[in-house]
Structure formats: structure tokens, C-alpha cells
Amino acid sequence: MAITSGGPLSHLRVLDLSRVLAGPWAGQILGDLGADVIKVERPGTGDDTRAWGPPYLKDADGVDQEAAYYLGANRNKRSIAVDLSHAEGQKIIRKLAAQSDVVIENFKVGGLAKYGLDYPSLSKDHPGLIYCSITGFGQDGPSAKQAGYDFIVQGLSGLMSITGEAGGPPIKVGTAVADLTTAMYGVIGILAALSHREKTGEGQYVDMALLDTQMSWLANQNMNYLIGGESPKRIGNAHLNIVPYQDFETQDGHVIVCVGNDRQFQRFCEAIGAPELARNRSYETNALRVRHRDVLVPAIAARMRLHTTAHWLEILSHVNIPHGPINSVGEAFADPQAIHRGMRVDMDHPLGVSVPTVANPIHLSKTPVSYRRPPPLLGEHGDEILDELGIDPEDRARLKDSGAIG
């Protein structure tokens, strides 16, 4: 049923009915691990993100084609264009679901029930199906029917209240972290459900919500509130519970310093030429340094501004203090470690060009991630998939004429 790739999930087929980011990202992770992922898109326009540019991947003639946003979340998938509102289109989806192990969708609550493509409908004839729904607020509760967007959830979850400079406005994280973390937790839920099915034969429903995930992902910041009783405040790049653990301005830029214990603090003070700070009893322990950060941090900052970033990177490396620069995205890809780890993967694209993609970060010694298919063109594999369903060319032509497929 699935393409043999040698990946740990190469025995699975995933039907991806989702679009934009959270659902497609989950599907891409499963595809990278070997699953045969079939991406279902609207005829004509496809996934909304195909138009979310510039920048666009250019074809061999230099013409803009596929948006970078779309390309980033749809590797290792096959695309078929099906109109879910069309009765014949619904029949195709039901046939695909019957041959799939997992369904992923991110329609509004109840959005697929009217087409008979919700979990209760599909699981009647396929009790082993794993069905993962990704929404903004989950399948129940007072906000369940509201549309969920990453930006809105970053605000609702409390994340933006702790992101930004002290005294400045709340700031969202620079990437769609609510979408991405929900996708990753969704994959964990899917794998757990598959493990349960392996033992019992039972499929199940996986209900994922951006708000739930983003709130759980606040980790120690949530616990600071639950234990301390006060909501954490914005403190820029500083750490609420560790000092010094932030970036410092240098002569020509910034350097990040992460001092995790008292021994490191002593070495750090020696390295920056301020041994008196290490001898000051007000800074002997991390708890004391946190309480006196308003005095300690300016004293450190004054020292750090005396030299260049390159100087401090060399000095702190010599004394084994955790540190690093603040790279641009381009500088990050040029970093020797990122190059060594193969974080850029170039793939041949059907447009006749090479498309760069970002590597999957999972490294498995026996069943490694594979990069089998570049992000597909809209409907690129439609005939291939319909052949697998036993739909002959004459019926395919009829379905295209009816508008059920693209």
C-alpha cells in the first residue's frame, strides 16, 4: 500500500486533508519517516500557502511558481486535487481513507461531518483508523467553534506576555510556534495511537488544539506562575530564573552568555576581568544573583561593551563558558556545525530545478529519515493515486468533467 523506503513508518499510509501549516507539518514529519502521505487539495488553487509569497521557487525559465512557505511543509507527499464538497469527490476520499492508516485534518469543528468524512463516519467501516484533528481550540468547550490562528493563540496562551523587552510591547515569536508544536505533539499522539492499535486492533481519535499545546509548551514559565502565584513579566532576552543568562552588547554586536552554575559564574567573572563580582557575597549563588540582577547585570554589561563579539567568543570558549553569537538565518545555514549535520537538503523538483529544503532533525541509526519526494505540484500524482484505487481512465475523465477532481 505504501512506498517502500526503508523508513520506520514505510508500512503506513497517511491521508493528509489539511492545509497551511500545523497539519501539513505533521504530515511531512510522518512522510520523512517513511510513510506514504497523500495530500488532498482543492482543485484549481490547492493549499492556500501555494500563493503565500514572495519568495517563490522559480522554474527553469525563471518564472515564479511555488511559494517558499508551501515548499517548507510538504516534502515527501503525493498530491491529488479533490473537491470535498462534491459527492463523487467524497467517494474518492472514503476510498482513500479505507486504504489509509492515518487521517490528518484541520477543518473547523464539524466541518467534515457534513461530507461524511468525520471520524465517526469513516471509522464505522475502518475501526482501525487513526484520525487526527487539529484545530485552534479543540473539539469542545466555549471557544471550540472559533477559528484558530497561530498569532491569536500566541496572544491567548500567555506566550506574548513574556516575549519582548521589559517595559516594551508584547511580541510574538518569529515563527509559528503554536502551529509547529501542535504538529509535533500531534505526531506523538498519532504514534501513540498506532502503538495502541498494534496491541488491540483499535483505532482512535486524536484531538489536538493549538491553545492546549501552546499553554503546555510554556513549561517553567507556567510553573513559575502556578507555584509563585504571579504571572511572569517580559524581561527581553534574560532568563527569569538564571543570572547571567542573556545577550550582552559588545563593541560591534552582541554575544549570548549562559552561566548555569556558581562555578561557571566564578570563571566568567575572571574571564571578563571582573573577579570582584565573583567575590561579592550578594552574587555567591544563583538565587542571590536573580534577586540582585538589577545591579549585577549592568556591571557585566559595562565590561562586555569594552571588546568585540569575536574577542568574547574566543575568550569564553577558552574558559568553557556556554556562549554564542546571534546569527542571521543565512549565517545559521553557513555555520560549520549546521553544514556538518546536513541541515540543508537539495532535491530535484519537477519544474526542472533544484529546491532547497530544511533537513528533518531526527537522526535514527537503523532507519534514517529519507528524502524521497520534493513538495509536489498541485494534483501531480492524481492519476497515479486514482489508478491505485482502481479508477480507470474513462472514469477519471468523467470525474474531471464533473469537477470532482482537478
Count of C-beta atoms within a 10 Å radius of residue 5: 21
* 179 is known as an active-site residue: yes
At 162, is the secondary structure helix, strand, or coil? helix
Strand residue runs (E) in 101-203: 102-105, 130-135
Helix (H) or strand (E) holding 216: helix 210-217
Q: Which helix (H) or strand (E) holds 217?
A: helix 210-217
Cα Rg of the chain, angstroms: 25
Joined grid coordinates for residue 303: 565590561
Long-range CB pairs of 138-146, under 8 A, 24+ apart, other chains included: 138/207, 138/208, 138/209, 138/211, 138/212, 139/109, 139/207, 143/211, 144/109, 145/108, 145/109, 145/110
Spatial CA neighbour of 76 closest among 42, 44, 47, 37: 37
CA 85 centroid distance within chain: 29
Long-range contacts of 362-368 (CB under 8 A, 24+ apart): 362/32, 362/33, 364/8, 367/6, 367/7, 367/8, 367/33, 367/34, 368/7
Q: Which three cell numbers mark 344? A: 540543508
Q: Are strands 245-249 and 204-209 parallel, antiparallel or unpaired?
A: unpaired
- C-beta of residue 134 within 8 angstroms of C-beta of residue 107: no
Show contacts of 116-125: CB within 8 Å, 24+ apart: 116/90, 117/17, 117/84, 117/90, 117/93, 119/205, 122/94, 122/97, 123/203, 123/205, 125/98
CA distance linking residue 342 with residue 169, whole number of Å: 37
Catalytic residue among 32, 179, 207, 247: 179
Taken in order 359, 362, 368, 369, the sign of the CA dihedral is negative
- Residues carrying an active site annotation: 179
